[in-house]
Amino acid sequence: MRFFSDNAAPVADSVLAAMAAANVVDTAYDGDSLSRGLDDAFSTLFETRVAALWVSTGTAANALALGALCPPWRGIVCHRDAHINNDEAGAPEFFTHGAKLLAAEGEGAKLSPASITAVIDLIANDVHRVQPAAISITNATEYGLVYTPDEVAAIGALARARGFGLHMDGARFANAVAHLGCSPADLTWRAGVDVLSFGFVKNGGMSAEALIFFKPELAADVAIRRKRAGHLLSKGRYLAAQIHAMLADDLWLRNGAAANQAATRIAAAAGAGRLVHPVQTNEIFLAITADEAAQLRAQGFDFYDWAPNEARFVTSWSQPEHEVAALAKALAAL
């Protein structure tokens, strides 16, 4: 029973079916009609004109986005525990040609205007210090917490005031929107986000994420840099097909909601006393002893030892009901 990562989940049937339907002779790279249709599909979803590019990993999406917002000689404010800072093997540094990640603090991996200015206001404005050029936030965060539209807007206002770009890592954007019940537009461009990494792979897709530019003029250079980074697949129609399938009938949102609900049940069973962070999306961080962890593993549960006496459980869009029930029961019984 896998609660280790939502990357372990399978691909939604409709996604596989869309890929099979795309299996015809067609134009290479992103010249096919499915790829060409992404701008329209996302413009509809976001209620404004956007440019959209498929990429095959969230790491590439994030790194390309940051490269568009920050030149090599400046910096990007992010949370100390941000995925871009810790879990992408230096991809942001690679794609930006050496920009510096400027780590800020905040409960649950959430930044705020105060925690951002606590970092950047210490940076003297001279040529010796790396000057910030962008802010990156993760929604939902690495600990499963959600920024509300107002919280994003406060950071967006700061970004605009300082002339910074604002990137949102939305590897779990679906889970965030499902939790908030807000419109995707309110959570992004209306709150000042310039570029969104919109994740599908953790949520029912196979190998296609979307990079959404709310300033569409940013996309042209990124399309070049996507190719330069080896990320322009020669048969792009199979990626675009995945994304269209995820957007159809709001599958992305329904899948996000399903994962969240499973997590909510498990969190309730575990009891508030064990929760290291509130459970808002599909990640549950629990205080459990090594002995308890061993008991759970003996019952067949797979999960991540996040820290001493702390474990991470992640539910997926397709987590079987019986697994959720079993874990809930096991945790309640600890």
CB of 181 to its own copies, least distance (A): 27
User: Do residues 219 and 51 touch, judged by C-beta distance below 8 A?
Assistant: yes
Contacts with 107 (C-beta within 8 Å, 6 or more apart), sequence order: none
Least CB distance from residue 198 to its own copies, whole Å? 15
Q: What is the Cα 90 distance to its own chain's centre?
A: 17
Q: 322 vs 333, which CB is nearer to its own copies?
A: 322
Closest contact distance (angstroms) between CB of 212 and its own copies is: 17
Burial 187-225 (b: 16+ CB within 10 A, else e): bbbbbbbbbbbbbbbbbbbbbbbbbbbbeeebbeebbeb
Are 306 and 285 spatial neighbours (Cβ–Cβ below 8 Å)? yes
Q: DSSP code of 148?
A: -
Residue 291: CB minimum distance to its own copies, A: 23
**Closest approach of its own copies to the CB of residue 119, in Å:** 12
* Complex with its own copies: residue 190 or 231, whichever CB lies closer: 231
**Please, what is the minimum distance in Å from the beta carbon of residue 117 to its own copies?**
16
Asked if residues 92 and 64 have their Cβ atoms less than 8 Å apart, the reply is: no
Give 192 or 256: the residue with its C-beta nearer to its own copies: 256
State the DSSP H helix or E strand holding residue 160, giving kind and residue range, or none if neither. Answer: helix 149-162
The CA distance from 241 to 225, in Å, is 22
Q: How far is the CB of 60 from its own copies (least distance, A)?
A: 3
Q: In terms of C-beta density within 10 A (0-12 exposed, 13-18 middle, 19 or more buried), how is residue 123 classed? A: middle
* Identity of the residue, 25 or 272, whose beta carbon is nearer to its own copies in the bound complex: 25
Closer Cβ to its own copies, 190 or 202, answer by number: 202
Quote the radius of gyration of the chain (alpha carbons, Å). 20
DSSP of 189-228: GGGT--EEEE--GGGT-SS-EEEEESSGGGHHHHHHHHHH
Nearer to its own copies, 52 or 99 (CB): 99
Using the minimum distance from each CB to its own copies, give the nearer residue, 129 or 297.
Answer: 129
